[in-house]
Amino acid sequence: MNTVNRGWLKKQVAAGKMQARCDFDFDDIYGNQADMIWKPARLSPDREWEEYEDSNGLTRHRLVNGNDLYKLGCISFESWDFATKSGWAHRNTDNTIQLVVHSNLSYMLRETKEIT
C-alpha cells in the first residue's frame, strides 16, 4: 500500500483522467448506493455565493452556481474532498486508489487511458 498525494489526485480528477465509484457512504443506510459503478470523476467548480437583502432588510447569502456542482452520470468531487484533515489516499495492489474523505465517506478511483 503506497500513499498517494491528494493534491496530485485532485489534478488528475480535474484533468478528466480518473474514474470513481463510492466505496463507503455512511448516509447510505439502505445499501442502495447508486454510485457503486465506475463513472467519470470530475472536479466541481468552487461554490460561488452572493449577498442579497431579504424582505426584512436582513443580509442573506445564496448559492449562484448550484446547477454546476453536480453532473448526471459522473462522480462530482469538490476541492475540499482532497484536503480534509482526517482524509488520506493510498494505491492498492490492483492499482486502484482509495480516497478517504473522512471516516464516513470514501471512494475508489482508477486512472483512465483517455480523457473523458
Tens of pLDDT, residue by residue over 35-90, are 578 899 998 877 778 888 999 999 998 877 666 666 778 888 988 899 989 899 99
Cell 484533515, residue located: 85
Output the 3-class SS for 51-89. Answer: EEECCCCCEEEEECCHHHCCCCCCEEECHHHHCCCCCEE
Q: Tell me, what's the pLDDT at 110?
A: 94
> Is the pLDDT confidence value at 15 over 90?
yes
Phi-psi region of 6 (alpha: psi -120 to 50; beta: other; left: phi over 0): alpha
Q: b/e map of 99-115 (b: 16 or more CB within 10 Å)?
A: bbbeeebbbbbbeeeee
Which pTM does this prediction carry?
0.72
